[in-house]
A and B are shown apart, each in its own frame.
Chain A
Amino acid sequence: MLGKQVVLSLWLGLLTLLWSCHPLLISQARGIVVLALFAGVLAGLGGLTSVRLLVVCSGGVGLVNLTLALLLTTSPPHLWVGLSAGLTLLALLDGNQCVAYLRHCQVGPGVLAQLFGTLVRLSGWSLAAGVSVGYLVTALHTPRIDTVAAGYMTILGAAVFVGFFAAFLLTTSRWSALRTQDEWGEKGG
């Protein structure tokens, strides 16, 4: 039991460290360091108190920090930086969710392997999707196009993507269930 707790805590700690330090790979400006520290503290607090909203806030702060670091350094587009940050963020959020219930439970054999397998599978799909998006963006890139028109197209594309994605989630989810409070939260689970 103690060993399990230690392993889970180490795993979460490692992911928190990786996530918060990610923007520091690009820039070590004072503002970036402060924001990285803030993101790390938020994720750490979220992990310790099992308040997942803090981890999500850490994710938001980390994303802003990453974007700022990229803008400050004006580095060329780097697909792998984004993807590795994304995979770390996914593992952090998923890990916090799993640890929230695993720490109260007796874990049977094969459970951790199965959870880890799912994470690996998702990472594989994410890598494939990331590479596809990278190819698509590179293929669509035409230097002769008007900058203003490209900006409008980007905004439009983003809006269409978000809209379609939200519509898909809406149709596949039971929103009535989404609105009701999770009973497990009430029971302390």
Chain B
Amino acid sequence: MQRRNAALNYYYFILLLIGVLLSTVSRRLEPLCAVLPLAVALLYSRVVRTTPVFTVHCQVTPQRVFEGDPITVEMTIKAETAMPPTELWHVLPREATCVAGNNRVVCTLRRGEVRTLQHTVVFAQRGKYTLGRLYGRVHPATDLQPWLFESLQEQVCSVYPHIVPLPRHLPPLHTYASFGHYVSPSAGEGLEFAGVRQYSSGDRLRRVHWRTSLARQQLYVNDYYCERNADVVILLDTLVSIGTERVNTLDVAVRAAASLAAHYLYCKDRVGLINYGGVCTWVPPAVGQLQLYRLLDALLETRTHFSYLTKDVTLIPPRVMPPGALIFVLTTLLEPRLETALHDLLARAFQLVLVVLSPVYVMPNRRQPRQADAIARLWRLEMELRLQQFRRAGVPVVLQDSADPLRGLHPAMASGPRWRQRLS
């Protein structure tokens, strides 16, 4: 804690000089009397020197949230001595919005009093943010010499991208034998009941269907359908991002990626992530809640890395892109280098689903609707032309036509010849 002279000291002293000078020059008492209260205030601030003793504690809960979820910040002041008006300021990052309470509070406390001040903060954008930086100013007697203090109880909050549930499930074309939500027509290990058959050597005793066995006087066992799951890889184009710092295509793509990852992980599929940009990073496919947090943590760090060098997709190891995996490509297609990579993936018989993000929804000139409509139409025409080759190859293509880029996913996949049968 440090006592500082406020700028007001200078101002008071300058006015005091002016008053004395005017009084001397004019040989009148009134100007001196007019600045006398300022002199008294200056003297008073020097004479009355109380040192407040107190402790400040800050607690931030929860520290892992999704975009738009509230974070509660509790500031607790415990006063050992009587506290004059004390200003407490919790410095918030630029992206934060205080939706309830106030992050700047002035209060007075009696000796031994404990007070908890609470406010709620919301982040509209993903990222890792540091909260818990408290600055304080104690105003003893006058505001001429306040005590300044800072309490850095930094707590890092992870704000994950907002997850929008997909309205319908979109099953992959290729699955493989493992535990999962997809039921195979062949019998095997699983949970889905298929029927009852005669016991054969090697069958487990726990599978014996006793009622049928007693009725037929022969051992019968339960049969189950084999379970399958799939590999899903989300390929995020981080070569280019359009828009402002707050609203951009990369954030839209990240939200869509998080939604897809949460959906397929819920269906017990193995989900992986590839950030395809100047610097290519990936998370190998895996299942479970832990994988979801692994992916969300990776998405938190996703940034645009422009580079004239791009990594060839053939260099990405097969454990990251297993053969036959369903690959969701989230891109603006503004960077032609990605098209080469997509052709490469198609040639390697991956199931591609192309989600093309529109820059129209992140452009700042949306105040002029006619202009925005014209831009949207031009962009759509150009994209339709460029995407013809992919449509001909049977790749479902979703052109973003609303704020949610995944809204047209199901109709686009259902219209494709290969998926139509599975989705019907």
Contacts and interface: CB of A to CB of B under 8 A. Distances in A.
Q: Give the interface SS of chain A, mostly helix, strand, loop or mixed.
A: helix
In the complex, the 3 A-B pairs of residues with the closest C-beta atoms, listed nearest first:
A82-B33, A108-B107, A82-B30
Contacts of B4: 177, 182
A63 B108 contact: no
A26 to B, nearest CB: 9
B379 interface: no
Given A89-B34, A189-B135, 11 more contacts: A60-B14, A60-B18, A82-B33, A101-B106, A105-B104, A108-B106, A114-B108, A130-B36, A158-B20, A158-B24, A165-B39
Interface residues of B, number: 65
A132 B143 CA distance: 26
Interface in B64-88: 84-85, 87
Given A67-B31, A162-B17, A174 B89 contact: no
Contacts of B137: 101, 184, 189
A183 B136 CA distance: 12
Interface of A: 52-53, 56, 59-60, 63-64, 66-67, 70-71, 77-79, 81-83, 85-87, 89-90, 93-94, 97-98, 101-102, 104-111, 114-115, 118, 121-123, 125-126, 129-130, 133-134, 137, 151, 154-155, 158, 161-162, 165-166, 168-169, 172-174, 177-178, 182-185, 187, 189
A123 B37 contact: yes
Given A115-B85, A126-B37, A184-B148, A105 B28 contact: no
15 contacts: A63-B34, A77-B28, A79-B29, A79-B30, A83-B33, A105-B87, A106-B101, A106-B104, A106-B117, A111-B106, A129-B36, A151-B27, A154-B24, A178-B9, A184-B137
Given A70-B30, A122-B40, A133-B36, A93 B107 contact: no
Contact of A70 (B5, B26, B44, B104): B26
Given A101-B87, A126-B36, A174-B3, A78 B30 contact: yes
Contacts of B15: 56, 59-60, 63, 89
B16 interface: yes
B7 interface: yes
B7 A86 contact: no
Contacts of A154: 24, 27
B108 A108 contact: yes
Interface in B106-162: 106-108, 115, 117, 135, 137, 139, 141-143, 145, 148
Nearest to B143: A97
A66 B108 contact: no
Given A118-B142, A155-B24, A134 B29 contact: yes
